[in-house]
Amino acid sequence: MDEKPFEAVAAVSELTERAYELLVRPMLREMVPEWAAKTARAFHPLRAQRWMFSDKNPMLGGLPYLAFSARSGRKAASASNPMRQREKLVSDLITASLDLYRDLRDAAREAAFYQIYGSLVSLQVADQRAEIRRDAKFDPQLDPIVRVEATRLRRAKFCPDAAPVASTDSMSRLAVP
């Protein structure tokens, strides 16, 4: 029972990935120029944080010198210092608050996960996915459009040793009118 919701997630994920690859990706490749796609990839937040806070950013050139001066002038406060005691108290309070937030967030996500993917319909989708995979084998050579396109490619000597399966580029041209 515990694995069924994860199988449902896999089925939904596989379905949306196939839909994207078949319906959206060919249109986006035609509509978005390569330079715009390259720029969007470079400025993705997970990639941009790597180069924004590195030595590739000229605005951070003086940071190593500032860090060195801060390290060399550092002096530890005594344990009886009231500011150090308040610092410890505030640090413990922030740590407890972040732990509480993490636990509540994780519990809410887990509850939402089981409400969405733990329902009987989702569990049935996971069972159906296994049956479909077992029973249905897709052979692209049996598709008449694929055969026609592969024959055309071989005759045009575009790809002399083309297998009887069309390329993904030619298939994307077939998918977009």
C-alpha angle 147-154-28 in degrees, rounded to nearest 5: 70
pLDDT over threshold 70, residue 150: yes
In the chain, where the domains are located:
1-64+82-137, 139-177
What confidence score (pLDDT) does residue 159 get? 54
What confidence score (pLDDT) does residue 177 get? 43
Taking only the tens place, the pLDDT of each residue in 4-41 is: 788 888 888 988 999 999 999 999 989 999 999 999 99
Taking only the tens place, the pLDDT of each residue in 36-95 is: 999 999 999 999 888 888 878 888 888 888 889 999 988 888 989 999 999 999 999 999
The DSSP annotation for 20-57 comes to: IIIIIHHHHHHHS-HHHHHHHHHT-HHHHHHHHTSTT-
| For residues 155-161, average pLDDT | 61
Asked if 27 and 176 count as a contact pair (C-beta separation under 8 A), the reply is yes
**Tokens encoding 92:** 């413990």
Nearest to 7 by CA among 137, 167, 128, 150: 128
Residue listed under structure tokens 């071989």: 154
163 three-class SS:
coil
**Tokens encoding 39:** 């720029």
Asked if 140 and 165 count as a contact pair (C-beta separation under 8 A), the reply is yes
pTM, entire model: 0.51
Cα–chain center distance at 116: 20
Taking only the tens place, the pLDDT of each residue in 85-134 is: 999 999 999 999 999 999 999 999 999 998 888 776 667 777 777 777 76
Asked if 8 and 125 count as a contact pair (C-beta separation under 8 A), the reply is yes
What confidence score (pLDDT) does residue 1 get? 53
How many C-beta atoms surround the C-beta of residue 8 within 10 A? Answer: 22
Report the C-alpha gap between 145 and 102 in whole angstroms. Answer: 53
* Residue predicted with more confidence, 168 or 137: 137
Residue listed under structure tokens 């026609």: 148
* Residue predicted with more confidence, 150 or 167: 150
Report the C-alpha gap between 143 and 149 in whole angstroms. Answer: 10
